[in-house]
Structure 1
Amino acid sequence: MRVIDSHLHLWDPAVLEYEWLEGPLDWRFAAEEILEEQLAGVDEEAAIFVQADPVEGRSLDEVRWVDSIALETGVVAIVAGARLDRGAETDAQLAALAEHERVIGVRHLLQSERDGLARTEAFRRGARMLARRGWTFDACVRAQQIPDVTALAASVPDLPIVLDHLGKPSVGTASAPSAPDAGWVDDLRELAAQPQVHCKLSGLPAESGGVWTDAQLTPFLDVALDAFGAERLMWGSDWPVSSIDFGRLEDGAYVIGARQRWFRTVADWAASRGVDADALFWSNALAFYGIR
């Protein structure tokens, strides 16, 4: 079985500053750490690095650092950080990122922005610049922002967009699970009506606080499958963010093997639904990101 992790993070606070890191996440997660979390029962494994939101102005340095450890970590492509709403400054940032061959897309982290930013002309201009370069856009939003992504996709139809973490729906907890919210379901279906939009099966463990049951999360995978079809889904670990159990200790604890467990959860679900595992875990992500 071949697996490409479509959503892997790496960072080292000794190399770059990350204002959002705290508790068990405020540690190094780099080459040595990911090598200890390689997936069992996999013949070939690779990864797409997704920007980890260092302090502003250091996105290019982040790309340089990831490039320097790419061979050790199995990273074959980079989704770099960039602000898309700053006109000429955006153009210059994209030009600098283009000097690095592994960069194939951008993520402007929308989950921490005001609702509606992706609908502004400034943001759409930046999105069109991505499309002209043949790059992709990772949309990391909270559930109420999914319609903003739908509007962006409609206004820039030649930009390939992938929704990170299924739009971060409310999944409840292992002991008190939540059923898929009807509003989220409707919004996901409307987004999926835009043919260039894909969806990552990632991040749900983090939304559950790092502890989950398969029965709790598979209904959300079913909604994504119904909306996007198997050909527009890809698996991502969201490592190490989704490997933190926030029920342990005061600030949470890193759980060895959580990445493997999420892989197994999605693999078992895919087998039970007749989803082509090679497409879900390999070829869909390669095709979306244009990796050859």
Structure 2
Amino acid sequence: MRVLDSHLHLWDPSRLDYPWLEGPLAARFAGAELAETDTAGAAVFVQAECLEAQFLDEVRWVAESAPATGVVGIVAGARLDRGAETEAHLVALAELALASGARIVGVRHLLQGEPDGTATSEAFLAGAASVAARGWAFDACVRPPQLPDVTALAAALPELRIVLDHLGKPAVGTAPVPLVPDAAWIRDIGDLAVHGNVAVKLSGLPAEAGGSWDATQVAPFLDVVADAFGPDRLLWGSDWPVSAVGPEGYRAGDRTAWLDAVAGWAEDRGLDVDAVLWRNAARVYGLA
């Protein structure tokens, strides 16, 4: 079984600063810790929201550690609504890729904490257009009320490849008290999927469940995005280590548990498991 993890985080607080880290996540999660998860394969690293001033340093560090982590592509941190500052940062990213060999395949401006409408502002659209011109994808990490903004972005820039992180973070409840997919989320996912330049990551639901999840609980949410996006725009991602924290703390085995859950679901639904676990991510991120 080939695996290309489309959503892997790595960090080392002794190297870079991550103000948001707390609890079990406020520790080093890099090559040695990743090896303990027993999930072999390649991965796309997604920026871990270090300090903005360290975005380029994060790319350098991840590129240096790539042989030990299996990282074959990097989704770098970038603020896309800063005008000339955004353009200068994208230029610096491209130059760093040439100088270091870092394989930059996309950028992420973390939208989940931004005001609604950020992704449709004139400044953001200009920055996103510059991302598209470089052939990079954009990772959209949003909360459900922000899904219409991502749809508007996709409509405004059909040349921009957009990857929706974590199914848009729907409320899934917990294994003992599961929730059913919300009607508004189902509607907004359907509206977004109309745009062929958008794909979705099957990732992050364990974190949304606070680490208390099971395959039966999450299957209805996977079904919704599969019905909306079709089999060729579904990408498995571990969201490691964020989605490997449960009520008892960090659990190395949860990365493999999520892989097994999604692979089993895909097989049960008659989907091409290799496409979900490998080929779709390789194509969307230009790694094929």
Superposition TM-score, scaled by structure 1 size: 0.96
Q: What are the Cα deviations for residues 31-71 of structure 1, in whole angstroms up to 9, with x where unaligned?
A: 100011132xx6xx100000000012110000000011001
* Aligned counterpart, 1:117: 118
* Aligned counterpart, 2:46: 50
Distance in 1 between the 2:203 and 2:143 partners? 14
Instruction: Compute the displacement of 1:207 (Å).
Output: 0.2
Is 1:255 matched with 2:251? yes
* Aligned counterpart, 2:245: 244
Is 1:31 matched with 2:27? no
Is 1:126 matched with 2:127? yes
Q: What are the Cα deviations for residues 240-268 of structure 1, in whole angstroms up to 9, with x where unaligned?
A: 000001x23xxxx1012000000010011
Distance in 1 between the 2:224 and 2:192 partners? 12
Instruction: Compute the displacement of 1:153 (Å).
Output: 0.5
* Aligned counterpart, 1:265: 261
* Aligned counterpart, 1:9: 9
> Aligned to 1:200, what secondary structure does the other structure show?
strand
* Aligned counterpart, 2:197: 196
Runs of 4+ in 1 over 4 A off after TM superposition: none
Distance in 2 between the 1:231 and 1:120 partners? 30
Distance in 2 between the 1:119 and 1:38 partners? 41
Match of 1:63 among 59, 66, 78: 59
> Aligned to 1:58, what secondary structure does the other structure show?
helix
Distance in 2 between the 1:53 and 1:291 partners? 24
Task: Structure 1: give runs of 5+ residues left out of the alignment.
Answer: none
Instruction: Compute the displacement of 1:213 (Å).
Output: 1.4
Is 1:97 matched with 2:98? no
Task: Structure 2: give runs of 5+ residues left out of the alignment.
Answer: none
Q: What amino acid is the match of 1:273?
A: R
Distance in 2 between the 1:261 and 1:140 partners? 23
Distance in 2 between the 1:174 and 1:120 partners? 39
Match of 1:73 among 66, 69, 74: 69
Instruction: Compute the displacement of 1:175 (Å).
Output: 1.1
> Aligned to 1:111, what secondary structure does the other structure show?
coil
Alignment of 1:162-201 (within 5 A): 162-201=163-202
Distance in 2 between the 1:93 and 1:38 partners? 36
Root mean square deviation of aligned Cα: 0.8
Superposition TM-score, scaled by structure 2 size: 0.97
Q: What amino acid is the match of 2:191?
A: E
Instruction: Compute the displacement of 1:215 (Å).
Output: 1.1
* Aligned counterpart, 1:224: 225
* Aligned counterpart, 1:276: 272
> Aligned to 1:162, what secondary structure does the other structure show?
strand
Asked if the contact 2:120/2:149 (under 8 Å) is kept, the reply is yes
> Aligned to 1:283, what secondary structure does the other structure show?
helix
Instruction: Compute the displacement of 1:30 (Å).
Output: 0.3
Q: What amino acid is the match of 1:203?
A: G
Distance in 2 between the 1:161 and 1:222 partners? 20
Percent same amino acid among aligned pairs?
61
* Aligned counterpart, 2:286: 290
Distance in 2 between the 1:114 and 1:95 partners? 26
Distance in 2 between the 1:214 and 1:34 partners? 23
Asked if the contact 2:38/2:253 (under 8 Å) is kept, the reply is no
Q: What are the Cα deviations for residues 91-138 of structure 1, in whole angstroms up to 9, with x where unaligned?
A: 010011112141111000000111110010000000000111111000
